[in-house]
Chain A
Amino acid sequence: MTTALGYLGRQTIRFLVHLDRMARLSFETLSEAVMAPWRGRKLRGRSTLEQMVRIGYDSIPIVCTIAFFVGLILAMQSAYQLKRFGATIFVADLVAVSIIRELGPLLTAIIIAGRSGSAIAAEIGTMKVGEEIDALRTMGLSHVNFLFVPRMVALLIVLPCLTILADAIGIIGGYLLSISTLQLSSTRYLNQTASALIMKDLMTGLVKSGFFALIIAVVGCYQGITTEGGAEGVGKSTTSSVVTSIFLIIAADVFFTALFYAAF
């Protein structure tokens, strides 16, 4: 029993230490992103753009496909319940609100954590074990400025954009299912969707996705830069980056959902 509690305590402390270091890293990266020009360092426009293409543009197909499927699933599942009350038209409300407030930002973040967060960790981890980070430092270049800032800025820009796209495609998925199999009229469905949504729904979703972007970037960079021990180490960091970012994304989601629910 004591051993089990001790183990739990040690793991908790280890996790909190990592969390503390990640918080410092995000602060350092954000301040570098904002202050770089004043510190006499370059803004890495080209590199940021490359990352935006890699993280954002290249993810469009997978994000759209998954959002479309989730829209379909959501419409079917809610119709299954609502038709018992003869209220299938409320499928429109349910699909729109749950996608925009919750599933759009969450699913997009999870896809990007799996797809790009892991790639960031693997890339920076490989550079770390291949002495490339040391080489950068001996050349007098800051790895925060050179590697972290472009990835973080790119994620902060593209994740909300991808979220808006996922929202739209998810709603289209629900719409197509409803007008084809639930015999709902197209105009009624669209009117119902429009009346169900308010600007606040979209805003809360986007605020969340901004924080999720921060989590994915910081966890990826942190896991990458703390990689030790060759190819095996890179594998561990990559796995760990996905697990940690998904955990933190969901934890942050609980927090923000509760906050928005209570405060607005």
Chain B
Amino acid sequence: MPTPSTFESGPISQPEDLLISIRDLLTHYDGRPILQGIDLDVRRGETMVILGRSGCGKSTLLRHLVGLAMPTAGQVIIKGYDITKLPEEELVPVRRKLGMLFQSAALFNSMTVAENVALALREHTELEKSTIDIMARMKLEQVGLSGFENFMPAQLSGGMKKRAGLARAIAMDPEILFCDEPSAGLDPVVAMGIDQLILKLKKAFKMTIVVVTHELASVFTIADRIAMLHDGRVIALGTPEELQASSNPLVQQFLRREADAEEIGRERFLSNLVGEEKG
């Protein structure tokens, strides 16, 4: 059996430019379907944005892509390895090629920023401590956090935490970077900074990036292709231009930031009430 550590040829043959293939992914939570047959391919070097409303299953999909959750059925093939079939032990070599930026940044609060970035290097490589320190400092410099090496995560602002999270995610020079809501909870200026940083990292390291978000401003800045999810299904897939030209009413509603019909009804109902009171 080939070991995942070699990576050159996986047991499942795929076209060379396909890095991630999701095949008929189904998942349930408490008996409720969350993902209802997702099929999606991510090509080498592209930035794929998974877009959708809250609760559409996009974060769940991302958790499946890094093996943090097991689907009810279907495949997630990364570099030729179906990670849904791999036990935790054998996932390790695959995961070394992945970096993940969590929504909350998920920095280890008991460690300094530099220790956070250095952790994977310390655990997975035999490098000298001094080399690891230099590498961690370089990664922090790349995300614009020079001088914050000895800060504790609690001392950082939201945007800085995301930057530190990014530095940690790219510490092992991953081939694929996953970002869960990178600009959520940040002000527009800081959020734009994170988007620019993602673009810069992609250009510098030729990484394949998968971003889950519902921030429209981010989407059109960073996306090469967009997959829009609705009720656990991909309802639209294409470049930002293709998506803007889509005739799908759900896509248009999302892009135009329109409220649900039901909600308009309730708002009208409320404004009528106010009107009546005033009258």
Q: Could you tell me which A residues sit within 8 Å of B by CB distance? A: 42, 126-127, 130-132, 134-135, 137-142
Instruction: Check if A138 sits within 8 Å of B95, measured CB to CB.
Output: yes
How many residues of chain B get a CB closer than 8 Å to chain A's CBs? 24
Chain B nearest Cβ from A233, distance in angstroms: 15
Specify which chain B residues have a CB less than 8 angstroms from the CB of A126 in the assembled complex.
109
Q: How far, in whole Å, are A140 and B92 apart by their CA atoms in the complex?
A: 5
Tell whether B124 is near chain A: CB-to-CB under 8 Å: yes
Are B68 and A137 touching (Cβ within 8 A)? yes
Interface pair A139/B103, CB less than 8 Å apart: no
| B68 contacts A138, C-beta separation under 8 Å | yes
Residues of chain A within 8 A (CB-CB) of B100 are 135, 138
Within 8 A of A (CB), among B67-117: 67-68, 88, 91-93, 95-96, 98, 100, 102-104, 106-109
- CA distance in complex: A127, B66 (Å): 18
Q: Which of A42, A134, A140 contacts B68 (CB 8 A)?
A: A134
Residues of A within 8 A of B108 (CB): 127, 132, 135
CB <8 Å contact, A140 and B96: yes
A139 & B95 in contact (Cβ 8 Å cutoff): yes
- Bound form: Cα–Cα A134–B104 in Å: 11
Q: Is B120 an interface residue (CB 8 A)?
A: yes
Give the 5 A-B residue pairs with the shortest CB-CB distance, closest first: A131-B106, A140-B92, A135-B106, A140-B95, A138-B100
Chain A residues within 8 Å of B250, by CB: none
Judged by DSSP, the binding face of B is mixed
Contacting pair B120 A130 (CB below 8 A): no
Shortest A121–chain B CB gap in Å is 15
* Least Cβ–Cβ distance between B110 and chain A, in angstroms: 8
CB neighbours of B197 from chain A (8 A): none
- On whether the beta carbons of A134 and B102 are closer than 8 Å, the reply is yes
Starting from the known contacts A126-B109, A137-B88, 12 additional A-B residue pairs (CB-CB under 8 Å) come to A42-B123, A130-B104, A132-B109, A134-B106, A135-B100, A135-B108, A138-B67, A139-B120, A140-B91, A140-B92, A140-B95, A141-B120
B174 → chain A closest CB, angstroms: 10
B40: interface (CB < 8 Å): no
Q: Which residue of A lies closest to B171 (CB)?
A: A139
> Considering only CB atoms, which chain A residue lies closest to B120 in the complex?
A139
| Nearest-neighbor residue (CB-CB) of A139 within chain B | B120
Residues of B within 8 A of A131 (CB): 102-104, 106
Name the distance in Å between B63's Cβ and chain A's nearest Cβ.
8
Tell me, yes or no, whether B119 is within 8 Å of chain A by CB.
yes
A139:B119 contact, CB within 8 angstroms: yes
Chain B hits for A140, CB < 8 A? 91-93, 95-96, 120, 123-124
Min Cβ gap A207→B in Å is 33
How long is the Cα–Cα vector from A142 to B89 in the complex, in angstroms?
9
Complex: A228 Cα to B2 Cα, angstroms = 38
Q: Report chain B residues within 8 Å CB of A127.
A: 108-109
B68, B96, B106: the one contacting A132 at CB < 8 Å is B106
Query: Hey, which chain A residues are within 8 Å of B96, CB to CB?
Result: 140
- Give chain A nearest CB distance to B260 CB in angstroms: 27
Interface residues of B in 165-182 (CB under 8 A from A): 168
| CA distance in complex: A142, B154 (Å) | 24
Chain B residues contacting A138 (CB-CB under 8 Å) are 66-68, 95, 98, 100
Residues of chain A lying within 8 A (CB to CB) of residue B107: 132, 135
B104 to chain A: closest CB distance in Å? 5
CB neighbours (8 Å) of B103 from chain A are: 131
Complexed CA–CA distance, A42 and B122 (Å): 11
- Listed by A's residue number, 13 A-B pairs whose Cβ atoms lie within 8 Å are A126-B109, A131-B106, A132-B109, A134-B63, A135-B100, A135-B108, A137-B95, A138-B67, A138-B95, A140-B91, A140-B120, A141-B120, A142-B88
Among candidates B67, B91, B102, residue contacting A135 with C-beta atoms closer than 8 Å: B102
Bound Cα distance from A193 to B2, whole angstroms: 67
